[in-house]
Amino acid sequence: MERRLIQFIAGLRAAGVRISIAESEDAFKAVQRVGMRNQTLFKEALQLTLIKKGADTPTLEALFPIYFQAPSIQANNLIDKLSPEEQQLLHRTVDELLAQLSDSTDEVRQPRLPKELSKEQQIEQTRQLVEALLSGQSVAAETFEQASQQVLPNSTRNVDLSRRWSLEQRIMHHMGGQLLTKVKDPLPGQLHKAGLNNDTINELMQGLTANLELFQEQVAEQIELSIAQQWADQHSERTHQADQLMDRTLQQLTEQEATLLRQEIRRLVAQLRSKIALRQKQAKRNSLDIRKTLRRNMRYGGVPLELIYKTQDKKPQLLLLCDISNSMRKVVEFTLRLVYELQDQVSNVRTFTYIDTLTEISQTFAQASPEMALHQVATHLRPHHPNTDLGRCLADLLQNYREMITPQTTVIIVGDACNSWNDPRVNVMAKLQQFSKEIMWLNPRPENLWEANDCDMLKYRPFAQAVYQVGTLTELTVAIDQLFREN
Amino acid sequence: MSKVTEAIKQKLRDQTYIASDRVATALYLANELGKPILCEGPAGVGKTALSQAWAAVTGRRLIRLQCYEGLDESKALYEWEYAKQMLYTQLLRDQLQDVVGNVSSLQEAAHRIAAEEAVFFSKQFLLPRPLLQAILSPKPVVLLIDEVDRADVEFEAFLLEILSEFQVTIPELGTLRGTHQPVVLLTSNNTRELSEALKRRCLYLHITYPPLEQELTIVQLKVPDLAPTLAREAVELVHEIRRLDLRKSPSIGETIDWVRALVKLNADSLEPDIVDNTLSLLLKHETDIVKVERALRAS
């Protein structure tokens, strides 16, 4: 059972819950005290020692049943209910049926198994299965291990329901399930011929069916467990992959790679966040706070033995303007995710998206994940593909949302500055710079293309205090880091 | 095992505190493993009340340290009573003259005074603050560190040291260690993220608004002379209100206050005008009150 607990902790870690060794030790000690008999208390003990953040509770709730499924019903031992003569009769009948199978010339159809079983092996497996079902034994771990190794692919976690069902079927076949019907169906008839009375036969068949269902359930549970364990085992591999993806151009990521990055983003920004928080703490000494100093030193009769300095609240206020034309989607999505993760380091964020019109997504962004928010906005777009018109959107911003731009606001524009030959309205940009604290531009377009075609970047450049070319996630992280630099 | 938790729940119930299975398990494990409990949750769900109830159950004294921004070692751990030390110096001026009296050099005078240093830095002049009181207490105590998320990061680091060793080193007096390890409860309103090191050291208990039946039991326990029908109506209304999107949802404390008010006003059932008049006991923001009034009028 300890092994199962260790696997559970590994599973939690793979799902993103950070558990230290000290905490796993505490979990073991707690389980020793609490015992495993009472499942509620067992679960509570694990929750108290392993989960230290409210947000991780759903993960535990989801993984707990997979690893610690309580056996609800026990399979019945059907053989014990029969008298010794009846037992002998039953065994003989089953043997006869199996012998018939091996004599028959029917080709046994096998579903695409990597390793085909010979007919004798199949019959042997069926015999074992029938024995197990009759005596009410549960799935032996080794049998399952063997079967699953043949059948389970090295797949990723999200094996959907239909695939799981087919996996179940294949494992059942491998364990002798395919030929089972050929034994089970004629069984009542043969038993009747052998002389068993009808009531006993009915009872036996009902018990057999019930045991078979239970058996199938157990197989399903074991499959879930194997998948979860595989996922946990591949955890380190995935983190390595994610680290490498940090330096790939975001626009060129495949959907699978993008998903991997999204899952790992919290871990990737953890370092950024602690850097930022530490920087705030080590802020340069400011001027003396006279009032607090005197208050603190009253106990020394007013002699200033301890000095208190003024602290500044340095959390930036942000206004994001994101270009959501097709080429920009991925970059914008990851920028929004980064900002979302760093929410506690900023005091206020307002988010706008634009192509040819401006839309505020602050509300949807706060409630849903960034990708949902972007998706929602995208669905509200007009059916034809609009051309980007930043100038018009800037004018719109200054006209309708003027009160959001204060001298403490940092405006971040995430876009490639390609305006489809529309009027760049540089004067509006100048006004924006005047009203806000500073403008920061994140442009994924390579620098040598900034004066090519319809790109107006060089026209806007004089008005932006900080311009960064952000193609990869690493560059994006560096740019966001600069946002929190000391002034 | 469940007998132990049931016993704990019953004892807490005798102190008019209704605890869930999780709370009882946490208290049991904290005792067995010697770890502090960190209670997080919205305001007014009974985090502080838990420590008071537990102190009453175990018969221990409750020592409370209320955290705030700027709380430091001198307010939390110990302080030298500077004023008292100065006063004694003034009063004992004559004695000091005797000690220093007939010396040949300044150095010798300083030596003589240094020899008497222990007088002015002895336990008489030590002002133990809650943490030191808890550590040195001759009888076992329950230590409540309330709203630890209001203190700053340096205080958390300092607290970590105390909670792991349960001993204090005072330079003038040496290392002080108590005989009994206190039961430590920390509470947090989740206004900021606590440091990982502190969280890892504790058992984490998330207390939230209770389900309907539990809250009904709590209300009936705390406000004995309440008609059952009125109690149920009131608690159901509070649950409805919590489902709305408010700035501050009513907590259990507020529910109890409201129900007490209803009893005082001799209400038999929830009439609209009584509810309107007493809504300010449940909700503490004007926008919330307006929203709820509108919702009530609609239904």
The verdict on a CB contact (< 8 Å) between B21 and A44 is yes
Summarize pLDDT for A44-68 with one digit per residue, the tens. 999 999 998 887 888 899 889 888 8
- The three-state (H, E, C) secondary structure of B115-165, written as one string: HCHHHHCCHHHEEECHHHHHHHCCCCEEEEEECCCCCCHHHHHHHHHHHHH
Residue B33 contacts A where some CB pair is shorter than 8 Å: yes
Instruction: Please tell me which residue, A17 or A174, carries the higher pLDDT value.
Output: A17
Closest by CA to A354, choosing from A304, A417, A266, A261, is: A417
d(CA B150, nearest CA chain A) in Å = 15
* A30 chain-B contacts, CB cut-off 8 A: 29, 32-33
* B195 chain-A contacts, CB cut-off 8 A: none
| Closest Cα in chain B to A36 | B1
Summarize pLDDT for A408-458 with one digit per residue, the tens. 889 999 988 888 888 888 899 999 999 998 899 999 888 888 888 888 888
Q: What is the reported pLDDT for B64?
A: 94
Q: How far apart are CA A267 and CA A348, in angstroms?
A: 23
The verdict on a CB contact (< 8 Å) between A48 and B21 is no
Residue B98 contacts A where some CB pair is shorter than 8 Å: no
Summarize pLDDT for A289-307 with one digit per residue, the tens. 898 889 888 878 888 888 8
Provide ipTM, 2 decimals. 0.78
Q: How far apart are CA A52 and CA B193, in angstroms?
A: 11
Range 183-222 of B in CB contact (< 8 A) with A: 190, 192-193, 196, 199-200, 202-206
A70 has pLDDT over 80: no
Residue B86 contacts A where some CB pair is shorter than 8 Å: yes
A390 has pLDDT over 50: yes
The verdict on a CB contact (< 8 Å) between B21 and A40 is yes
A24 has pLDDT over 90: yes
The verdict on a CB contact (< 8 Å) between A20 and B22 is no
> What is this structure's pTM?
0.71
Residue A156's pLDDT band, with cuts at 50, 70 and 90, is very low
Residue B1 contacts A where some CB pair is shorter than 8 Å: yes
Q: Which of A28, A38, A41, A43 to mutate to test the interface with B (most CBs of B within 10 A)?
A: A41
A154 has pLDDT over 80: no
- The three-state (H, E, C) secondary structure of chain A, written as one string: CHHHHHHHHHHHHHCCCCCCHHHHHHHHHHHHHHCCCCHHHHHHHHHHHHCCCHHHHHHHHHHHHHHCCCCCCCCCCCHHHCCHHHHHHHHHHHHHHHHHHHHCCCCCCCCCCCCCCCHHHHHHHHHHHHHHHHHCCCCCHHHHHHHHHHHCCCCCCCCCHHHHHHHHHHHHHHHHHHHHHHHHCCHHHHHHHHCCCHHHHHHHHHHHHHHHHHHHHHHHHHHHHHHHHHHHHCHHHHHHHHHHHCCCEHHHCCHHHHHHHHHHHHHHHHHHHHHHHHHHHCCCCCCECHHHHHHHHHHHCCCCCCCCECCCCCCCEEEEEEECCHHHHHHHHHHHHHHHHCHHHCCEEEEEEECCCEEECHHHHHHCCHHHHHHHHHHCCCCCCCCCCHHHHHHHHHHHCHHHCCCCEEEEEECCCECCCCCCCHHHHHHHHHHCCEEEEEECCCHHHCCCCCECHHHHHHHCCEEEECCEHHHHHHHHHHHCCCC
* A344 chain-B contacts, CB cut-off 8 A: 192-193
* A40 chain-B contacts, CB cut-off 8 A: 2, 21
A150 has pLDDT over 60: yes
d(CA B39, nearest CA chain A) in Å = 10
From the list B1, B82, B86, which residue is nearest A41 (CB)? B1
Residue A157's pLDDT band, with cuts at 50, 70 and 90, is very low
Residue A279's pLDDT band, with cuts at 50, 70 and 90, is confident
d(CA A236, nearest CA chain B) in Å = 22
* B86 chain-A contacts, CB cut-off 8 A: 301
| Closest Cα in chain A to B75 | A296
Residues A5 and A27: beta-carbon distance below 8 Å: yes
Q: Copy the structure tokens of residue A381.
A: 């777009």
Q: What is the reported pLDDT for B273?
A: 86
Residue A141's pLDDT band, with cuts at 50, 70 and 90, is low
Q: What is the reported pLDDT for A23?
A: 92
Q: How far apart are CA A96 and CA A183, in angstroms?
A: 10
**Percent above pLDDT 70 for chain A:** 84
Q: Which of A17, A25, A52, A303 to mutate to test the interface with B (most CBs of B within 10 A)?
A: A52
d(CA A296, nearest CA chain B) in Å = 10
Residue ranges in chain B modelled with pLDDT below 70: 1
d(CA B165, nearest CA chain A) in Å = 16
| Closest Cα in chain B to A19 | B200
The verdict on a CB contact (< 8 Å) between A30 and B29 is yes
A134 has pLDDT over 80: no
* B188 chain-A contacts, CB cut-off 8 A: none
* B4 chain-A contacts, CB cut-off 8 A: none
Residue B147 backbone class (left: φ over 0; alpha: ψ -120 to 50; beta: rest): left
Residues 6+ apart with CB under 8 A from A67: A4, A7, A8, A11, A225, A228
Helix runs in chain B, H state only: 2-14, 21-33, 47-58, 73-76, 82-91, 93-100, 106-115, 117-120, 130-136, 153-165, 196-201, 212-222, 228-243, 252-264, 272-282, 286-298
* A281 chain-B contacts, CB cut-off 8 A: 153
Mean pLDDT of A192-208: 80
The verdict on a CB contact (< 8 Å) between A44 and B35 is no
